């Protein structure tokens, strides 16, 4: 700059100008060194040791850049010193400058720094060479240790096949029982055995899936073994290349020694961190493939499906879970249980909760445990403490799969994903093996997991050390298909609750560990009191079917299929809004406008594949007619008391819901119309049963397809079916009232408000004065009926008379005086 502008200044001014240059020199180089050190360190955290061969050339490049910067700044300084001076002390300053230049080559201690730098860089180079050789040795060792891994996968396959064989054996037993019952003409026993056959078939299918999955894992292990052997062979020349690269790094000593020291320090620190990078320690980020580690393969819903009209349920679950984790002084574990029939979205609820932002910290820190009770079905006789320990160990193996974790000082465990059965075997084996060797997981279990308390503490300490989990990060336990654990009774608790494997496992968990389970509806009804000796159960209302709008959104989300308005209405009507039925209806051939018939066929296929257990209930005329009537008029249901059984039968609603023959809907019941409407034999059976009650099925539940296709439209065309629907609904509710109380309709008088409950104050005041007996159902008089006629026991419908003064005449009896009369509607 001085030369370019021909500036003349004194020696003092030169010195004063040199100070900013020197300061800029040190500042720029210092900042560059720090930034490069941070950058290199950040790279080291994300590469493995096999990438160390590129470090010496990287340092060479960095030093070359720093050298060029330093040389440019030195030229600027020398230019300032050699610029012609002005008057006064210019000559003196130039003399001082020349003297300084002549004496500049060596500053005090710089030769020692240079020797120390060369030594340090050679140490770093040797370290990189040793790391390369060690990596070669580890790759060769991995080729040898892959054989035990393959053996473990073979054991998993054998266990899966054993599970399948056991399921097939149960299926054969169920088929044999069904055949014997059929030969003995025992219809009731045959139906029960048929239900068991259907259940056994589902279990065989699941077992086959586990066998297929184990085969894939075994093939993957064999491929890993092959790749490890090839890598071991190819790593020998790679080690030589690394050693050559480390030797060339010494050349960097000649470039900018002072400003390369920080980079060398960063290089040494990076190598040290990289040398232990297989250990997962104080990791503050998020593990990759979280969905796979927490959800996929651990619950039967591997897709992120639509989750609609469940906000209220989600809020209830979160509130109850938070009550568990935030309440101090709990003296018993709390289990939040949601029981709903198959196909209503329970597993989607589990998935939604596990992925929710409220539980993001627990998910990232490995404190969220998601488990499918199907894994325990073959181990129900195992001690509950052992099951809890195995579940947590299995969870840790899933979470830290492909990572090494330091579980104790000097003890590193290579975590590898395993099925639950082998994990339970390891736990049992660790107690009988004094000093297990060869399997680091087995050694860890034997040394650190001697009791359930030890396992729970390991869960806390490992996630704290490996994932930097805060101590107050809550532990959560989500359990799907919990009915499999609640199916077998294990006696009675002192609080009069029926004990089972589910209650045993839940009562063994920490008191402030939030637990949530889902399952089919029946198996906990009448089993728990809300409070056990060592457990508290908090039950939630069952999931209701979807509304029409939610069904539309769900089907568009699943398949993007656009439906005509009338077709969509038919789908919702015949499916009852059940999510699984809607799912089948959406999986049509991909046409933009699916026909109603195609959708009905798909839903009928769903009945055959997923709800085979519902069939026997519709083969029984009494149960089938009662189910259809209850669904048509939204008859109340309850877990206990008068409304806990299907009217006219001893069958509990819980059995109906578990079989999928009906679905709970806002304290009532809903039967998908496709269950019976598409089956001509069942439909004819229902028509005959209701005809005896003088109730017409086609008027109580009109065929919507025929209504849409009929030629006459308008308010009048809609009015007549509506009148008939009201009349037959009232008659149906009266007969259900009698059936629920197991009394005959001939001599039963029911309070009008029991048949027609209403919140309207005026109607309540008017109707509370009447009783009704509609034993003769609905009648269609040939001539117009009027209020002056003698009141009978049938609701008179004047639909045949086009110009009738009253559409309906309803017979009633006054409570006070016993007078019978008609009231018009």
Q: Which residues of 489-525 are buried (b: 16+ CB within 10 A; e: fewer)?
A: eeeebeeebbbbbbbbbbbbbbebbbbbbbbbbbbbb
DSSP letter (8 states) at residue 498: B
* Cα–Cα distance for residue pair 348/313, rounded to 1 Å: 12
**Structure tokens belonging to residue 619:** 């083969």
Length of the chain in terms of residues written: 825
* Cα–Cα distance for residue pair 507/485, rounded to 1 Å: 13
**Structure tokens belonging to residue 273:** 């961190």
Which H or E element spans position 756? none
* Cα–Cα distance for residue pair 128/246, rounded to 1 Å: 7
DSSP letter (8 states) at residue 261: H
* Cα–Cα distance for residue pair 92/114, rounded to 1 Å: 33
pLDDT by 10-residue block (mean), the chain, 825 residues: 40 49 61 66 51 50 56 55 42 40 43 41 41 47 50 67 73 77 76 75 75 73 66 46 36 35 32 39 76 76 72 91 83 88 90 90 92 90 93 93 84 88 89 64 88 93 89 92 85 77 90 90 58 82 89 79 78 91 77 72 88 90 94 90 92 88 90 88 91 92 72 65 91 96 93 93 94 95 90 91 86 93 90
Q: Which of 34, 20, 145, 159 is nearest to 80 (CA)?
A: 20
Q: Are 52 and 277 in contact (CB under 8 A)?
A: no
Strand partners, 814: 770
Strand 669-670 with 663-664, pairing: antiparallel
Query: For the chain, which residues make up each domain, given as ranges?
Result: 1-100+114-159+224-278, 290-540
**Tokens 């259940």 belong to which residue?**
199
**Structure tokens belonging to residue 37:** 């050190």
* Cα–Cα distance for residue pair 89/75, rounded to 1 Å: 23
* Cα–Cα distance for residue pair 341/541, rounded to 1 Å: 12
Question: Which SS3 state, helix, strand or coil, does residue 240 take?
Answer: helix
């Amino acid at each position: 700059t001085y030369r370019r502008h021909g500036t003349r200044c004194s020696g003092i001014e030169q010195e004063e100008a040199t100070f900013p240059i020197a300061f800029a020199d040190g500042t720029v180089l210092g900042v560059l060194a720090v930034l490069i050190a941070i950058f290199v360190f950040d790279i080291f955290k994300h590469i493995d040791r096999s990438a160390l061969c590129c470090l010496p050339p990287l340092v060479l490049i960095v030093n070359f850049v720093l050298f060029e910067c330093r040389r440019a700044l030195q030229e600027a300084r020398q230019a300032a010193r050699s610029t012609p001076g002005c008057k006064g002390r210019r000559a003196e300053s130039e003399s001082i400058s020349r003297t300084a230049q002549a004496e500049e080559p060596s500053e005090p201690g710089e030769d020692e720094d240079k020797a120390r730098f060369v030594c340090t860089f050679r140490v770093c180079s040797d370290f990189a060479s040793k790391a390369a050789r060690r990596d070669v040795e580890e790759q060769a060792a991995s080729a040898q240790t892959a054989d035990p891994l393959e053996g473990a996968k073979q054991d998993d396959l054998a266990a899966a096949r054993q599970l399948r064989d056991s399921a097939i054996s149960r299926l054969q037993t169920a088929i044999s029982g069904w055949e014997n019952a059929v030969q003995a003409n025992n219809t009731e026993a045959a139906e029960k055995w048929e239900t068991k056959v259907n259940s056994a078939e589902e279990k065989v299918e699941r077992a086959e899936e586990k066998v297929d999955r184990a085969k894939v894992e075994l093939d993957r292990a064999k491929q890993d073994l092959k790749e490890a052997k090839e890598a071991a062979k190819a790593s020998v020349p790679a080690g030589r290349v690394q050693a050559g690269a480390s030797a060339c790094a010494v050349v960097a000593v000649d470039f900018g020694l002072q400003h390369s020291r920080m980079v060398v320090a960063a290089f040494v620190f990076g190598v040290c961190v990289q040398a232990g990078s297989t250990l997962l320690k104080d990791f503050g980020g998020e593990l990759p493939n979280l969905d796979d580690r927490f959800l996929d393969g651990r619950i039967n819903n591997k897709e992120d499906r639509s989750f609609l009209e469940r906000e209220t349920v989600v809020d209830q679950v979160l509130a109850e879970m938070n009550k568990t984790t935030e309440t101090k002084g709990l003296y018993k574990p709390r289990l939040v249980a949601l029981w709903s029939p198959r196909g209503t979205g329970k597993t989607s609820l589990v998935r939604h909760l596990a992925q929710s932002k409220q539980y993001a910290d627990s998910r990232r820190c490995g404190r969220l445990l998601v488990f499918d009770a199907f894994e325990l079905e073959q181990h129900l006789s195992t001690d509950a403490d052992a099951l809890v320990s195995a579940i947590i160990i299995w969870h840790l193996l899933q979470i830290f799969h492909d990572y090494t974790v330091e579980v104790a000082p000097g003890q590193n465990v290579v975590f590898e994903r395993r099925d639950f059965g082998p994990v339970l075997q390891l736990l049992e084996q660790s107690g009988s093996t004094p000093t297990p060797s060869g399997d680091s997981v087995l050694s860890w279990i034997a040394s650190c997991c001697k009791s359930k308390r030890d396992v729970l503490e390991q869960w806390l300490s490992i996630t704290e050390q490996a994932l930097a989990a805060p101590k107050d990060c809550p532990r959560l336990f989500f359990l799907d298909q919990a009915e499999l654990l609640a199916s077998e009774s294990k006696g009675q608790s002192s609080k009069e609750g029926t004990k089972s494997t589910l209650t045993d496992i839940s009562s063994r968990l920490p008191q402030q560990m939030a637990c949530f389970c889902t399952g089919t509806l029946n198996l906990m009804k009448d089993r728990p009191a809300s409070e056990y000796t060592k457990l508290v159960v908090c039950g939630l209302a069952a999931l209701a079917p979807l509304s029409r709008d939610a069904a539309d959104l769900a089907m568009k989300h699943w398949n993007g299929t656009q439906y005509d308005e009338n077709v969509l209405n038919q789908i919702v009507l015949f499916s009852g809004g059940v999510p699984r039925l809607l799912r089948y209806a959406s999986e049509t051939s991909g046409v933009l406008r699916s026909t109603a018939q195609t959708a009905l066929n798909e839903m009928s296929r769903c009945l055959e594949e997923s709800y085979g257990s519902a069939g026997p209930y519709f083969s029984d005329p009494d149960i089938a007619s009662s189910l259809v009537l209850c669904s048509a008029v939204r008859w109340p249901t309850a877990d206990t008391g008068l409304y806990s059984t299907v009217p006219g039968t001893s069958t509990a609603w819980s059995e109906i819901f578990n079989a999928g023959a009906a679905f709970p809907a806002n304290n009532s019941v809903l039967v998908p119309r496709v269950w019976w409407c598409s089956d001509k034999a069942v439909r004819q059976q229902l028509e005959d049963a209701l005809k005896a009650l003088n109730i017409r099925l086609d008027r109580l539940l009109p065929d919507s397809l025929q209504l849409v296709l009929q030629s006459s439209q308008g308010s009048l065309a809609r009015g007549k079916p509506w009148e008939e629907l009201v009349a037959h609904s009232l008659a149906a509710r009266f007969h259900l009232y009698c059936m629920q109380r197991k009394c005959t309709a001939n001599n039963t008088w029911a309070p009008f408000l029991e048949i027609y409950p209403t919140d309207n104050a005026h109607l309540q005041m008017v109707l509370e004065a009447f009783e009704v007996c509609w034993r003769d159902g609905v009648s269609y008089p040939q001539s117009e009926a009027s209020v002056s006629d003698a009141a009978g026991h049938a609701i008179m419908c004047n639909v045949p008379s086009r110009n009738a003064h009253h559409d309906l005449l309803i017979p009633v009896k006054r409570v006070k005086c016993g007078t019978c009369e008609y009231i018009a509607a």
